[in-house]
Structure 1
């Protein structure tokens, strides 16, 4: 498949923007995947190319968080291993169950989460992880990796955002460190999904490689802003991502009733 100049420009700009958003608050796939589909790629190829560019971009933003000490390496590593394993399981189960059940649950939960982020002004401002014992923190890391990785394999949209919320709400990390931890977790689940996509021949490299370069630039810029401004930059973007995710899930579930599909 050959992209026109305009469709290529739109795609690569959207992937850049997705990288910027994803590096700070997760949810970049809500921007980049529709852009891939807009070019006329079939669903499986769009997902494969999206995973390729996302994995490359997330890798660079993860390195930037790591170099700045903005992650808890042990916690991130444990969650990443569990995420890698459970993502494979999620991918396999995705072909066997009705995803509308999970979408319905998320539609109920997401408005509550968005309201909490808006109303609780000090959410993720301070790092209070020392209030949790190491044993409990390691268990939480494993559970988080298993749950979020499974979700990424099963559905995908908003994986990084969900991981950040869990790390901050349940393990008391500030949003900057929670975002750094989420990068490592998300990187693992991305590569698990990417392996499946590559083995299935669902990546068109002449499209995915330039997109990955744009995604890397967006991730690098977004990670820098997140590291510099912390929760003040991350939280509002998270609220926007949650609203976009809610809108997407609502559309997926109910569009056929309104549009007669």
Structure 2
């Protein structure tokens, strides 16, 4: 029994570390970490709740690093955070009304389009002439709108939230890659905290495993965020492509 527990911890911690590294660069770490908890045999709600614990710990590290590097413009981040909270609240209620299967079918249609955009996007390589670091009312409005919409998605379904935020901030808002990464982390941390509080109140978090995995997720986020700082323009696009392909395969498999 003891050996089985140790094996569970080793498997989960390894994949959660990997998830932290990926998530800090391009989002989508939950596509790696959540299945790891389920493979370990945790019930679905416990897996989701414990994953939020480790994600919160790891995202805190990446968020702090990006904030220290000046990637977060608070005139954008603060309004977007409130938008994300509102969106998550609405999404969690809509989840009770919308069929999970309908949402997955929509993802199967949308994901190939997103992949095509990523393959052609120059903004993700850091050399798009249309990117801007100026802050104005229209940019703030766009970021709030994105935060609300993706917040709703996160409340209903969730996987790939960070990836979608990065794509929208660079493509729709024409933000620089650094500003997009910083704003994404601010919103991700907010949604993680909100969900974690709910799960903790309802006693769904497996704390020993969550804390152990959280430490590994912090290590992954630390390495990933520092890799982004030094090589962000080189690594974010290939990592994002891998995340989207894995997400697509995961959704199709669930539908079949």
How does the TM-score come out when normalised to structure 1?
0.91
Change (3 A) 1:16 1:99: same
Q: Distance in 1 between matches of 2:56 and 2:40?
A: 20
Equivalent in 210, 214, 233 of residue 208 of structure 1? 210
Q: Is the 8 A contact 1:124 1:174 kept in 2?
A: no
The answer on 1:234 being equivalent to 2:243 is: no
The answer on 1:16 being equivalent to 2:17 is: yes
Residues 28-177 of structure 1 aligned to structure 2 (within 5 Å): 28-126=29-127, 128-130=130-132, 134-177=136-179
1:242 deviates by 0.8
Q: Distance in 2 between matches of 1:201 and 1:154?
A: 21
How does the TM-score come out when normalised to structure 2?
0.93
Q: Is the 8 A contact 1:132 1:171 kept in 2?
A: no
Question: How many pairs align?
Answer: 254
SS of the residue corresponding to residue 230 of structure 1 reads helix
Q: Distance in 1 between matches of 2:91 and 2:120?
A: 33
Equivalent in 223, 247, 250 of residue 248 of structure 1? 250
1:220-242 residue CA offsets vs partner (Å, 9 max, x unmatched) = 11000011112211111011111
- Structure 2: stretches of 5+ with no match in the other structure: none
1:122 deviates by 5.0
1:131 deviates by 8.3
Q: Distance in 2 between matches of 1:101 and 1:91?
A: 16
SS of the residue corresponding to residue 244 of structure 1 reads helix
Q: Distance in 1 between matches of 2:125 and 2:82?
A: 25
Q: Distance in 1 between matches of 2:86 and 2:117?
A: 31
1:194 deviates by 1.2
Change (3 A) 1:122 1:148: closer
1:174 deviates by 2.5
- Structure 1: stretches of 5+ with no match in the other structure: 256-261
The answer on 1:221 being equivalent to 2:223 is: yes
Q: Is the 8 A contact 1:24 1:226 kept in 2?
A: yes
RMSD: 1.9
